[in-house]
Amino acid sequence: MKPIYFPEPFRIKSVEPLKMLTRQEREKKIAEANYNVFYLASRDVYIDLLTDSGTNAMSTNQWAGVMVGDESYAGAECYYHVQENAQKIFGMPYIQLVHQGRAAEKVLLPILLQGKKYAIANMHFDTTRAHVELSGARAIDCVVPEALDTTKYYDFKGNMDCDRLEQYIKELGADNIGVIIMTITNNSAGGQPVSIENIRKTRAIAKKHGIKFMIDAARYAENAYFVKQREKEFQNKTIQEIIAAEFEGADCFTMSAKKDAIVNMGGLIGCRDKALFELIKQRCISFEGFITYGGMSGRDIEALAVGLEEGTSEDYLKYRIGQMQYLAGRLEEAGIPFQSPVGGHAVFVDAKKLLPHIPYYEFPAQALCIELYKEAGIRACDIGSYMLGNDPDTGKQLEADFEFSRLAIPRRVYTQSHLDVIADALINIKERASTIKGYKIVEEPPILRHFTAKLKPIS
Ligand SMILES: *Cc1c(COP(=O)(O)O)cnc(C)c1O
């Protein structure tokens, strides 16, 4: 089947010129960057797929909101606007602004985890895991086993494994578990969706055991679009109705607005319990700022208020998820392996399968990212052994389950031709795959090394 591209439900009013370097220039730039894409200047990148977080293009209405934004310290107009929209979309009475997703985690998780030992999630995003650990608890992932097989089709690879969850609760004791978290979509599993059936089942388990149920809601709208496509009960519901079903009965949520709310900065916390909200507000004032601005400028709050709603447009989501499916379709046609079916915000190319001659300790996914930059000025990032790092006890390189080169697609930023450039570059690389060499690290910091390590090609 020929890949389908759903046309953009917008036209372009303002453009950002890009520089196109020659292959020779790119080879020089990546060598100067020590073969680490995080050292590249963005002016030297043609298509930037490093992340979909905060890299979104705003609409005319959002830019108008930037002008309207009220910069009053307390009680600004934009504060009431974002409250009203968030209450309507998520169905929770209490909403707190914060400056991004991890700020929401920093404010909320220590409250939920006070005196507790564990948080259990379908999968914790890295910052969520970090804040669980900073709260003195341990983070346990409990995703369905289907998520681990990149070639097997499954509608909802982001789901919680509910049987295993029940088992964990029995083994660890409900009193020791501070929160059960549902991440929608499941970012760490490749932007994979979670079904409403699974959310309901998980929520019922949490409720039965008296454990708080929280949603990590960064991709609330993309998840709803998948539900509409794949879950029978919801095929005739609106995206807004499906979002309401996602949040129904949840005790609270944290949200990075830098994803589905189509802004460049922002975050939210929501809850139903007044006493919990009082604690949230107190911590917010210490860490983020007064409750009516929560670490945001008024102009950004107004853009967020508008984006929360724009992100739920079905035409927009059809185009958005369609971009992922178009790119994945072109790769499939060419026999390039990726996490399948493709998720909501990125295509995860399986470098272990594309470059089988490069062992994990020579970083096949990183090698593929460097080839992509040399080939066409595309910046992707390694989600594999290079990112995973060394065993803290033995200092030995760990082997990751997957060697992915992640192509994250910013919202409303690139066109079909850009996606074709990406597919064509990968097809060219596939043809000479066996000649591509691995890399070794020549300098690295002890933690989070992938941001700053220096590498060299193996000759
Ligand atoms: C991005 C993200 C976060 C963290 O949000 P930031 O805005 O980057 O701080 C938390 N959870 C999920 C699922 C995310 O995708």
The CATH code of the domain that includes 270 is: 3.40.640.10
Is the separation of the CB atoms in 196 and 234 below 8 Å?
yes
Is residue 10 situated within a structural domain? no
Q: Which atom of ligand 1 is nearest to the CA of 185?
A: 13
* 93 part of a folded domain: yes
| Alpha carbon distance, N-terminus to C-terminus of the chain | 41
Whole-angstrom distance, CA of residue 149 vs CA of residue 130: 26
Examine the fold and report which residue of 310, 338, 368 is the final residue of a domain before the chain moves on: 310
User: Does 114 reside within a domain?
Assistant: yes
CATH number at residue 377: 3.90.1150.10
- Atom 1 of ligand 1, nearest CA residue: 256
**Spatial distance between the Cα atoms of 3 and 343, rounded to a whole number of angstroms:** 16
Contact 125 CB / ligand 1 (< 6 Å):
yes
What's the whole-model pTM score?
A: 0.96
Residues 329 and 446 in one domain: yes
DSSP-derived secondary structure letter, 149:
-
Cα 459 to the chain's mean position, in Å?
Answer: 35
Of the candidates 5, 125, 277, 414, the residue annotated as catalytic is 125
Active site residue 450: yes
Q: How many domains does the chain have?
A: 2
- Rg of the Cα trace of the chain? 22
**What is the whole-number distance in angstroms between the Cα of residue 258 and the centre of ligand 1?**
8
For residues 85 and 11, what is the distance between their CA atoms, to the nearest angstrom?
25
Pairing of strands 47-48, 267-271: unpaired
Atom of ligand 1 nearest to the CA of 53: 1
Closest C-alpha to 284, from 78, 110, 97: 97
User: Does the residue 241 lie in any domain?
Assistant: yes
Q: What is the bridge-based pairing of β-strands 118-121 and 177-183?
A: parallel
Residues 282 and 365 in one domain: no
* Chain position carrying tokens 């995003």: 125
452 belongs to a structural domain: yes
- Shared domain for 335 and 257, answered yes or no, is no
Per-residue confidence in pLDDT tens, the chain, 459 aa: 789 999 999 999 999 999 899 999 999 999 999 999 999 999 999 999 999 999 999 999 999 999 999 999 999 999 999 999 999 999 999 999 999 999 999 999 999 999 999 999 999 998 999 999 999 999 999 999 999 888 899 999 999 999 999 999 999 999 999 999 999 999 988 899 999 999 999 999 999 999 999 999 999 999 999 999 999 999 999 999 999 999 999 999 999 999 999 999 999 999 999 999 999 999 999 999 999 999 999 999 999 999 999 999 999 999 999 999 999 999 999 999 999 999 999 999 999 999 999 999 999 999 999 999 999 999 999 999 999 899 888 989 999 988 999 999 999 999 999 999 999 999 999 999 999 999 999 999 887 889 999 999 998
Instruction: Write down which residue in 293, 310, 327 finishes a domain.
Output: 310
Residues 294 and 382 grouped into a single domain: no
Chosen domain end from 288, 310, 332 = 310
